Amino acid sequence: MKNYKSMTREELAAEKDALTLRYEEYKAMSLALDMTRGKPSSEQLDLSNHMYDDLASTNFRNSLGQDVRNYGIPAGIVDARELFAQILETDKDNIAMGNSSSLNQMFDTMMRAMVFGEVDSDKPWSAIEGRKWLCPAPGYDRHFRVTQTLGFELIAVPMTDDGPDMDMVEELVKDEKVMGIWCVPCYSNPDGIVYSEETCERLAGMKTGAKDFRIYWDNAYVVHHLTENDSLRGHVPDMLSLCDKAGNPNRVYEFASSSKITFAGAGLSCFAANHESMKHARKILDVQTICTNKVNQLAHVRFLPDLKAVDAHMRKHAAILRPKFEMVASVLKDELCDSELWHWTDPKGGYFVSFYAMPGTATDIVRMCKEAGVALTPAGASFPYGIDPNDTNIRLSPSFPPVADIEKATRILCVCAKITAINKLLGV
Amino acid sequence: MKNYKSMTREELAAEKDALTLRYEEYKAMSLALDMTRGKPSSEQLDLSNHMYDDLASTNFRNSLGQDVRNYGIPAGIVDARELFAQILETDKDNIAMGNSSSLNQMFDTMMRAMVFGEVDSDKPWSAIEGRKWLCPAPGYDRHFRVTQTLGFELIAVPMTDDGPDMDMVEELVKDEKVMGIWCVPCYSNPDGIVYSEETCERLAGMKTGAKDFRIYWDNAYVVHHLTENDSLRGHVPDMLSLCDKAGNPNRVYEFASSSKITFAGAGLSCFAANHESMKHARKILDVQTICTNKVNQLAHVRFLPDLKAVDAHMRKHAAILRPKFEMVASVLKDELCDSELWHWTDPKGGYFVSFYAMPGTATDIVRMCKEAGVALTPAGASFPYGIDPNDTNIRLSPSFPPVADIEKATRILCVCAKITAINKLLGV
């Protein structure tokens, strides 16, 4: 493929004609391909199908002999807390188990702050007029929706290869109305960026205007490596320790789940906090509910007793996911070798490929793809308020569809990317 | 047994000496009996042990062929909503499934009102200074804790045989700061009272000062009958319909769970609301989480496909519970036939026997029982702020311990009740 920028108008027009022909051919196929959401495929879910088999043979007792069927044990069974302590490299006493959704844990944690305030707050967050929240972008749309719904002004912070732009973050957090920041530190959604140690240390140590500033550390992909090369695996330090060492012990809530380890809709979730914040949370959690689903906790720890078992299990996921990510990469490379106009990520883990189109074309590309039967995440979805200032980013989610669909969908994406780019260059 | 009130001081002193001897004998046994909480026994939980067996053979598909393992279906699978619609005698479209705890649903529902307000609110409830909540008493301590924690002033309303004293309720709700009322309409906790139709109609139709007044209708024991005589079973009308007919369609949230049908710590829960309130709630629920645990929903509906199956299952529970309740009743009758000083309930369903001691003695009785190795719910626990104005009510929970323990615990309760009564009569 020739570099579009070096082509004449006539060459571009001819190229567009050829591409339009291809586009019409795809359209005629009446396809219905979906690359919108980071859902595990059936094949991945099948890996955990037998998690509940013979559960009755355990007599529903955990390692301490407690009956998991009955009321009680509000923080979750020790076995599950120990498992997630290993995953998050912290102590089990810092872990509170939730039900299946870590997003639910994040929402509830923020609702508690809204109504009761944090342990170091002067007042409930709902009483803070003009409260703000930092949103490293592109990021996870559902995170942004939580803070938007709860009345925070969302402040976008650009991502660098090392995580959020820390110079900007350190400047912004001087504002005492800035109450916190969303972080997906390992394999960020959608860029697959792993925060550098320096970024983590600066987040832990920075001086904030709000004394009750909080980092929501969503370690959603902590064990979700794609690479076969273990030395390329992403890793971030335990943020609870870092914050403690930096003299800001209450600063971080960590979140994790097994949604993309076992079942997306029926896994385990947890949050982690230091002693003070956990004590503060438990006072409210113990009013909210008697306990979370401990039978599911037992089923999980029987199936995945420790981090070693989780790692072995995640390698099976990776083996299913890798050909899908490789297909995306290979088609993108094949179609769009002109790297001046487009670029994309090569994630070592997580669930997404982040595609950067020629600025000002992402919305058109997504629209054209839709008309050809390819559903993509709406352009801008990864940005606060759904607005990508450069209209360039498209999040690709290759986990769910079969490889053949991914190939087709990615080819169509490329055709649309090229047509819109030519339109832009031709000024039409 | 002679009527204490007709005994001379000498006779009472002699009776007390005999009782004290018995009390010391019990104490010497170093017992550890627990009648504190309404927990199902292991034998009851065993009834549902095989709920998860061969779950993989379903391919984790529900009746619509949806994969319950994956993300999605935020309101819960239709099969589970249909089951709870049958239980609550409403339409499945009014039902939103939660995770295992209906208390969690109630807490979250009130948190949404606190932060966002109800669909017919002028402002979030957290902005209402001096907000109040009606607490029919005796009632469920965990209900009262929710509203107390969320900053409501708790207003006790006495219970009658037909439910809360409606003359008083109708008077109190004229105050626009009174935002709602807790109700356990069928087999109230702890009195086992079933609200009369008139009570339900008056609740639905009464004129309230707050236009966003809410009834929290916790139908916790809706299918939890103890009686073998079906004609004696408690039943309350569908409150959503009643409120709608009365022109107050948004007034009620209904709650139910399978905690005491399947597993106390791992059942299903739901809330029911009319179309407007549900639409209002879903806007926030869909931000809070992607879905609740649908695998557990599938396991449940496979085990209990409809109300008929639930009824057959609940008869097995009743067969286990009945001898325990009968033992309490028989010991109380045997020991305390002087009904002028003590009385107690004969519930047709639910989980409790409510014991009314001589006024001013309940705290002493519970303390003496504790010293003899019998743990009872603290006196006053069933009242707002834990204060029983007459110090008379003691909630007995016979569901968990074996019958032999129940006999011993109830005898000790009676001995303590008699000693404290004599002390009172003797003025010591």
Exposed, middle or buried, A369 (CB in 10 Å: 0-12/13-18/19+)? buried
pLDDT score of A241 more than 90: yes
Of B225, B228, B250, residue with least CA distance to B236: B225
According to the model, what pLDDT value does residue B1 have? 62
Chain B contacts in chain A segment 93-152 (CB below 8 A)? 99-101, 103-104, 107-108, 111, 114-115, 124, 126, 142, 145-146, 149-150
Least CA distance to A38: which residue of chain B?
B71
Least CA distance to A111: which residue of chain B?
B111
What does pLDDT average to in each consecutive run of 10 residues of chain B (428 residues)? Answer: 87 96 97 93 97 93 97 97 98 98 98 98 97 98 98 98 98 98 98 98 98 98 96 97 98 98 97 98 97 98 98 98 98 88 96 97 98 96 97 97 97 98 93
Residues of A in contact with B54 (CB under 8 A): 53
Exposed, middle or buried, B274 (CB in 10 Å: 0-12/13-18/19+)? buried
According to the model, what pLDDT value does residue B138 have? 98
Indicate yes or no: CB of B39 within 8 angstroms of CB of A259. Answer: no
Q: What is the ipTM of this complex?
A: 0.96
pLDDT score of A232 more than 70: yes
Residues of B in contact with A266 (CB under 8 A): 68-69, 293-296
Kindly report the number of other CB atoms within 10 A of residue B63's CB atom: 12
According to the model, what pLDDT value does residue B3 have? 87
Mutate one of B37, B295, B300 to test the A interface: name it (highest A CB count within 10 A).
B295
According to the model, what pLDDT value does residue A399 have? 97
Q: Angle CA(B182)–CA(B186)–CA(B188) in degrees, nearest 5?
A: 60
Mean pLDDT of chain A: 97
Residues of A in contact with B259 (CB under 8 A): 71
According to the model, what pLDDT value does residue A428 have? 85
DSSP conformational letter for A351? S
pLDDT score of A2 more than 80: no
Indicate yes or no: CB of B290 within 8 angstroms of CB of A142. Answer: yes
The answer, for A47 touching chain B at a CB cutoff of 8 Å, is: no
In angstroms, the separation between the Cα of residue A295 and the nearest Cα of chain B is: 6
The answer, for A402 touching chain B at a CB cutoff of 8 Å, is: no
According to the model, what pLDDT value does residue A37 have? 86
β-bridge mates for residue B269, sequence order = B257
Of the candidates B142, B263, B287, which has its C-beta nearest A69's C-beta?
Answer: B263
Q: How far is CA B62 from CA A303, B23, B100, B148, in A?
A: 24, 58, 19, 40
Indicate yes or no: CB of B115 within 8 angstroms of CB of A150. Answer: yes
Indicate yes or no: CB of B103 within 8 angstroms of CB of A290. Answer: yes
Q: What is the C-alpha end-to-end distance of chain A, expressed in Å?
A: 22
Of the candidates B67, B290, B296, which has its C-beta nearest A296's C-beta?
Answer: B296
Residues of B in contact with A401 (CB under 8 A): none
The answer to whether B269 touches B296, Cβ cutoff 8 Å, is: no
- What domains can be seen in chain B, in order of their start residue? 4-44+312-426 (3.90.1150.10), 61-305 (3.40.640.10)
A288-303 average pLDDT score: 97
Kindly report the number of other CB atoms within 10 A of residue B378's CB atom: 18
In angstroms, the separation between the Cα of residue A198 and the nearest Cα of chain B is: 32
Indicate yes or no: CB of A289 within 8 angstroms of CB of B42. Answer: no
